[in-house]
Amino acid sequence: MKHEMKLNMKLEERFCTLCGPQAQKNVLYSANFSDADFNQQIFSARRTPDRRHFQLVKCTACEMIYSDPAGDPSKLAELYHHGLVSYDTQEPEIYNSYAPVLDQALKKLSHRGTFVEIGGGTGFMLRYGVEHGFREQIEIEPSQDAEKKFRPVSPSSKFIRGIFDLGIIPPNSASLICFFQVLDHITDPRSFLKIVHEALEPGGIAVCITHNTRALSAKILREKSPIFDIEHTYLFNLKNISALFQSVGFSTAKSFSIPNKYSVKHWLNLAPFSPNTKARVTKILRKTRADKLHFKLYAGNLAVIAQKERS
Ligand SMILES: [Zn+2]
């Protein structure tokens, strides 16, 4: 069911979250959306990309790409509360893409207390925390629909419904905090990372996966790249994202490109074809059973593993 939510979205000026209001910016792509775009469907997780976006600018100092002007954060938050979780069938693929990054993070982690995921929908990644010996697992997620679909993977798993903010979990309490395809949706990523840093115990690790503006897909598709989207307020590259983590106090922040392994069907969903073309190709793939094939591609994601200083 599609709910239309008409909101009077007021646009406000943004600045580079790393370099601050004094940094210069250049217009990269002009806005291509209308009021009707602010409905519940657009703000659902991993829906078919429609490539509508606010005006996108690039910071001349660090090359961060961001929406400017962009929607009022409180209105955006409201939309996320009503967002529908629509990616159930891709969960195993997403899990398999992200788990190797967590494996790398664990090599540096000396204590496995609380495993926290932010914005992970129904919380299916918490299984990783259970299987790798964390004492407790917490999903923090604003969507009501996700809360309804949450199934605890162990007696020590819980769901906290809300936007990740100061006080939602105690300071110095988490061993690992991960957030996958979340940072680009945050209206103030630097403040968000400060809170992540504060919530981690000494020696604790933050694990982030997000889009890479210097990835091959962004270079080839340019404005048609699915990363340029009304929901993505800030977009990063390997260099500026490491700098952003270090700017809030992380002692190390290693960033690297990561491959995604998804089914042919999923890649097709992301491709810049018309719905008709997609339907035709899907039919052919289904007949030949090629839709079930999986392949790996460095399609445009980066990961960051950042550690808080041990005291
Ligand atoms: Zn900048």
Same domain, 107 and 241: yes
Asked if residue 112 and residue 226 are part of one domain, the reply reads yes
Cα 218 to ligand 1 centroid, rounded to whole Å:
19
* 299 CB-contact burial (10 Å; exposed 0-12 / middle 13-18 / buried 19+): buried
Q: Give the chain's domain count.
A: 2
- Four-residue CA torsion sign, 80, 232, 137, 171: negative
171 plus 129 within the same structural domain: yes
Cα 55 → chain centroid = 20
Query: 153 and 33 in one domain?
Result: no
63 CA distance to ligand 1 middle (Å): 6
Percent of the chain beyond pLDDT 90?
A: 53
Angle at 182 between CA 259 and CA 167, to 5 degrees: 140
- One domain, residues 42 and 127: no
Between 254 and 227, residue with greater pLDDT: 254
Ion ligand 1 residues within 5 Å by Cβ:
16, 18-19, 23, 59, 61-62, 64
Residue 282 Cα to ligand 1 midpoint, Å, equals: 41
User: Same structural domain for residues 205 and 101?
Assistant: yes
Domain with 254 in it: what CATH number?
Answer: 3.40.50.150
Give yes or no for residue 46 having a pLDDT over 50.
Answer: no
* Domain limit, last residue, from 33, 55, 81: 81
Same domain assignment for residues 166 and 56: no
pLDDT at 275: 81
Which of 189-193, 269-273, 280-284 shows the lowest per-residue confidence on average (mean pLDDT)? 269-273
Asked if residue 108 belongs to a domain, the reply is: yes
The Cα 94–Cα 235 span in angstroms is 20
CA 143–ligand 1 middle distance (angstroms): 31
Q: How far is the CA of 21 from the centre of ligand 1 (A)?
A: 9
Q: From ligand 1's centre to the CA of 240, what distance in Å?
A: 8
Whether 117 and 61 map to the same domain: the answer is no
Q: How far is the CA of 88 from the centre of ligand 1 (A)?
A: 36
The Cα–Cα gap between 198 and 181 comes to 21
- What average pLDDT does range 167-196 have in this prediction? 95
Residue 5's pLDDT band, with cuts at 50, 70 and 90, is very low
**Which range of residues forms the domain containing residue 182?**
95-259+301-307
Q: Are residues 163 and 24 in the same domain?
A: no
Average confidence (pLDDT) over 64-88: 72
Domain closes at, from 27, 53, 81 = 81
User: 242 C-alpha vs ligand 1 centroid, how far in Å?
Assistant: 12
131 and 29 together in one domain: no
Task: Please name the residue ranges forming H helices in 125-237.
Answer: 126-131, 144-149, 189-199, 216-221
284 in a structural domain: no
| 286 within some domain | no
Question: What pLDDT, on the 0 to 100 scale, is given for residue 85?
Answer: 61
Same domain for 123 and 25, yes or no, is no
| Mean of pLDDT values over 148-170 | 93
CA dihedral of residues 215, 216, 217, 218 (deg, nearest 10): 60
How far apart are alpha carbons 35 and 38 in whole angstroms? 6
Compute the distance from residue 191 Cα to the ligand 1 centre, in Å.
15
User: Is 271 part of any domain?
Assistant: no
Measured in Å, residue 273 CA sits from the centre of ligand 1 at: 33
